[in-house]
Chains A and B, each alone.
Chain A
């Protein structure tokens, strides 16, 4: 997700970020791979919106203003809702700035679904992932959270950007089907991991799609994922590889030339190769099951699976089960069944 702030939050660089908002806007004009924060611009825009909304409300007649404030009994405050409106149209506009992410659902949802079905053998018709608890880290506007909810899973989406969580909640609120299964929280993975009881892990799967390339500290991320997952739980990551090709295509072409992605979204230094990621995860108690390359076609606007992991790739890892004896017994029963 476009959550550059995520990693910085983990180190408490929050204050530095807000102070740097004005400086950052000038840096945008300069262009280039400065550590530009997309969410910093969002914050500034929402500050501007708040200011202009309050100016507008001063022009309204007093009774209207008062009743709009005090009379609302629904969970969503109309003022807040108006603010999200500009962002809402960005996240959920399928042809807008996040078009590539919407299109990526065609790959990542089947990837997650099929691998979970392999692991868990559920298969309720109509709700294949029913009974599973999934955590979507860096969910943004809920683009991936909603499809997983529709497949029957109980999904919690977290994102440190409160505005995005607000957008996601508003979008989900209208669907009675999703309201029961999908929930959101504005927090970081670290916060959530601290809340877990010692030794407990509640989630069957953790999904971190387009998140890892925005983090500063991957060790902590991997540790926290391991902490919140049940033994044998799955971790799904989609991210970009650190190669010359990914620089040429994902940074130069996608951001600056074709503008598929807003400029400054990605920092090539933060990309990680699948080999490094695999090593990192395995040292944190995961076993990597599969890595698949993905390719975006800007002409058709569609993603496809590919053999090369040079640009984008998707990874599925499984947290080690507790008891090695149980693991062996499960393997042998799996063999007799297959």
Chain B
């Protein structure tokens, strides 16, 4: 029985029970007999928060900012728990960091709304106006750009800068939002779905320091290996791609108006060059584990050569594909003479920033449920994608925007924030957006992972045709920009 085991623990004097408030409560338990020990909230130590966000990364911090700035949630107690240290950036470092994200215009307007975008633009971010995606096995290519190259398509922001900007914004919201750094969670205790008289109806979070906090709504933003998700036992559809991504910061041979994002699909995986400044770009090369390890071990010169040849060489193209490709292109140009774009080559690479080569494994994951009673998952905890489309962070920000809007409305209607009704709405809305995107990315990855002739022909025709249809391209861009 629960109460008996508590008494035993107190009698044995286990370490955990000897922390101040637990010790006092165990005395109370032994003196009172078998009174239900959960009426403990008058002790004041088990503080009840309205929302606790577990995980202070990009998406978790954005969620905290978003909730803190919402007028309907003013006066609610919000806590952000982050296991790492506080990331303060007084001065932007000269070197670029290796992990970057592509921020779509939709995400940028969301970040403007929470006041973090100003900090980001003041620190460092690089807009790009055009994106060229082409095949290594054929001549097919597709370019995305806004009309006349006037507007930005998206922005490349270093992850460190984004997190520092959000941290700075959180500092200004300290009356609403409390942030606890170096707080690792060791245990979650879930409430019963129906409130009974002798059980606490809130989610209980136990930290490594022994402190416990309670909350009416727990938001899990703790990354692809989410502890919240595992503790809830939510089934996840996931598999590891046989790929790892190698990231590095590249120095270009000569300064250029670096506002194009380049991605080439090699049979081993896509290689992408994302602009960081006029002289530097970020490399994201997804390839097999073995190749990735080899790349890491190469010396700088060989690595640079490998990158340049990956972007420039045509060794993967066979005669058959070339002829078929050019035939198809001429056929299409008869139908649509003005469409299509000339192929450009990315800038050549001269060197890499020292100590900036890193690799990490890739996988895909999707939680079958985003929510439970009093719990919601956002960001990579709910869905994890391949970086080839640059959508991981954007999907996460989309989750944040949607959940904030629903919580704000629920608070204005006087509802319990952890009630399942609006959490279900969040899950439905986000799954409708996330699943098609994830399916499309996975499909792209599989389509381009082979150099078997029929598949290559298929994707060549598909890519060329899509390139020639402006409305279709616009649809794709708007889908990816939300």
Chain A interface residues (CB < 8 Å from chain B): 63-64, 67-68, 71-74, 76, 78, 81-82, 84-85, 88-89, 92-94, 105-106, 109-110, 113, 125-128, 146-151, 170-171, 174-177
Contacts and interface: CB of A to CB of B under 8 A. Distances in A.
14 contacts: A63-B33, A68-B34, A71-B34, A92-B194, A105-B413, A110-B413, A125-B71, A126-B76, A127-B74, A127-B75, A171-B195, A175-B216, A176-B41, A176-B48
Contacts of A67: 32-35
Interface string B408-429: 0001111110011100000000
Given A78-B35, A147-B414, A176-B41, A126 B197 contact: no
B279 interface: no
Contacts, number: 93
Nearest to A110: B413
Contacts of A171: 195
B201 to A, nearest CB: 5
A92 B200 CA distance: 15
B97 interface: no
Interface string B51-73: 00000000000000000000111
Nearest to A150: B414
Interface of B: 31-36, 39, 41, 48, 50, 71-76, 194-198, 200-202, 216, 411-416, 419-421
B74 A125 contact: yes
A98 to B, nearest CB: 12
Chain A CB within 10 Å — which of B36, B197, B416, B420 has the most?
B197
A147 B39 contact: no
Contacts of B50: 177
Given A128-B412, A177-B48, 14 more contacts: A71-B31, A71-B32, A71-B35, A72-B32, A74-B35, A74-B39, A105-B413, A110-B413, A113-B414, A125-B72, A125-B74, A150-B414, A150-B415, A175-B216
Nearest to B28: A73
Contacts of B201: 174
A3 B87 CA distance: 58
Contacts of A175: 48, 216
B74 A147 contact: no
Nearest to B201: A174
Given A71-B35, A72-B32, A88-B197, A109 B74 contact: no
A127 B74 CA distance: 8
Contacts of A148: 414
Q: Which of A113, A126, A148, A174 has the most CB of B within 10 A?
A: A174
B414 A109 contact: yes
A88 B36 contact: no
Contacts of A73: 32, 35
A105 B415 contact: yes
A207 to B, nearest CB: 12
Given A72-B32, A109-B413, A147-B413, A85 B39 contact: no
Contact of A126 (B34, B73, B198): B73
A115 to B, nearest CB: 14
A84 B197 contact: yes
Contacts of B197: 76, 81-82, 84-85, 88, 170
A68 B202 contact: no
Contacts of A78: 35-36, 198
A200 to B, nearest CB: 28
Contacts of A93: 194
A60 to B, nearest CB: 10
Given A72-B32, A81-B198, A82-B197, A126 B413 contact: no
A73 B72 CA distance: 38
Given A67-B34, A73-B32, A174 B196 contact: no
Contacts of A76: 39, 197
Contacts of B48: 175-177
A312 to B, nearest CB: 19
- Sorted nearest first, the 10 A-B pairs with minimum C-beta distance are A67-B33, A147-B414, A126-B74, A126-B75, A81-B197, A125-B71, A71-B32, A150-B414, A71-B33, A151-B414
B33 A68 contact: yes
A81 B420 CA distance: 25
Nearest to B202: A174
Contacts of A72: 32, 35
Contacts of B33: 63-64, 67-68, 71
B411 A92 contact: no
Nearest to A72: B35
Given A126-B71, A176-B48, A85 B196 contact: yes
A147 B421 CA distance: 15
Most chain A beta-carbon contacts within 10 A, residue among B41, B71, B195:
B195
A76 B35 CA distance: 11
B354 to A, nearest CB: 50
A101 to B, nearest CB: 14
A89 B201 CA distance: 13
Contacts of B416: 146, 150
Nearest to B72: A126
A89 B197 CA distance: 9
A148 B415 CA distance: 9
Contacts of B74: 125-127
A67 B30 CA distance: 11
Contacts of A74: 35, 39
A211 B6 CA distance: 45
B413 A106 contact: yes
Contacts of A89: 194, 196
Contact of A92 (B32, B71, B195, B420): B195
B200 A174 contact: yes
Nearest to A178: B416
A147 B415 contact: yes
A68 B35 contact: yes
A149 B71 CA distance: 18
Contacts of B194: 88-89, 92-93
A177 B50 CA distance: 9
A68 B415 CA distance: 35
Nearest to B216: A175
A146 B72 CA distance: 17
A302 to B, nearest CB: 10
A292 B420 CA distance: 28
Contacts of B413: 105-106, 109-110, 113, 147
B414 A174 contact: no
A88 B416 CA distance: 17
B117 to A, nearest CB: 23
Q: Which of B35, B74, B76, B200 has the most CB of A within 10 A?
A: B35
